[in-house]
Amino acid sequence: MIAPAEVVSYDPRWPLWFAEISAALEPFLAGLPHVVEHVGSTAVPGLAAKPIIDIDVVVRSADVVPAAIERLVAAGYRHEGDAGIPGREAFALPPNVAHYHHLYVVVEGNEAHRDHVLLRDHLRADPVSRERYAARKRELAHLLTTDRAAYVDGKGALVEELIARAGDSPTADGPGRTDDEVR
C-alpha cells in the first residue's frame, strides 16, 4: 500500500478506522498487558492531516516489548526497529490492510509515548495551536510527494514548541484509547 501523500481536512471516519485496526490487533495481543492508543493528527477532531492512522501499542515495561514485537510480527507486520526515535518500535504494514496506518510499540510514560499523548491532547484542547499546526502542514504538503523528510523536518520546531507548551498537562484517557489503563 502506498503512503498517502496529501494533507486533507479532518475526516470523521478516522476514529472508526482506528477502532477497526485496533480490533484486528487485539487477538494477537491477547493476554499481553497493553493499551492501544490513537495518536497523531488523525486522533484530533477538526485537525487537517495525512489520512494515516498513528497507533501506539502501549506496554507497561520494557521487558514486555519483545513479546509485543513477536506478536505483531505474527500478525503480519514487519519490525523496523526504532526508525530513529529511541523508545518507539516501528512496524511496516502487512499486505492488504484496509487502512494505511503507522504502528508503534512504546513503554507507558517513556518519552516517545509521552510526546505522542501530550501533542495529541494539547491539539484537542487548544484550537489556536490546532489551526497553527494545520496551517504549517498545509504549507509543507507539497513536499509529501518529493521529500517526506523535509515535510517532517519542516514541522519539527512547531511540534517541539507545542509539546513544550503542553508541558505538565495531564494525559487524557479520552477517545482513542481501547481501555482506561494498561491491562
For the entire predicted model, the pTM comes to 0.88
Sequence-ordered list of residues with C-beta below 8 angstroms from that of 127, at least 6 positions apart, any chain: 46
Q: Is there a domain that residue 125 lies in?
A: yes
Q: Is there a domain that residue 34 lies in?
A: yes
Which residue blocks in 30-96 are alpha helix, DSSP H? 65-74
| The pLDDT value given to residue 3 | 85
Say if residue 157 is exposed, middle or buried (CB neighbours under 10 Å; 0-12, 13-18, 19+).
exposed
Q: Average pLDDT by consecutive 10-residue portion of the chain (183 residues)?
A: 90 98 97 97 97 98 97 98 94 94 97 96 97 96 93 94 78 42 43
The enclosing domain of 100 has a CATH number of: 3.30.460.10
| The pLDDT value given to residue 171 | 42
* CA–CA separation, 84 and 78 (whole Å): 16
- Name the grid cell of 143: 513536499
| The pLDDT value given to residue 55 | 98
- Name the grid cell of 164: 513544550
Beta bridge partners of 35: 58
Sequence-ordered list of residues with C-beta below 8 angstroms from that of 1, at least 6 positions apart, any chain: 93, 95, 97, 100
Say if residue 105 is exposed, middle or buried (CB neighbours under 10 Å; 0-12, 13-18, 19+).
buried
* CA–CA separation, 128 and 155 (whole Å): 16
Q: Is there a domain that residue 80 lies in?
A: yes
Q: Is there a domain that residue 175 lies in?
A: no
Half-sphere exposure of 156 (CA within 13 A, CB side): 7
Our count of domains for the chain comes to 1
Residues in the chain: 183
Beta bridge partners of 38: 55
Domain that holds residue 145: 14-166
Q: Is there a domain that residue 130 lies in?
A: yes
Q: What is the largest CA-CA distance in the chain?
A: 44
| The pLDDT value given to residue 161 | 93
* CA–CA separation, 165 and 183 (whole Å): 30
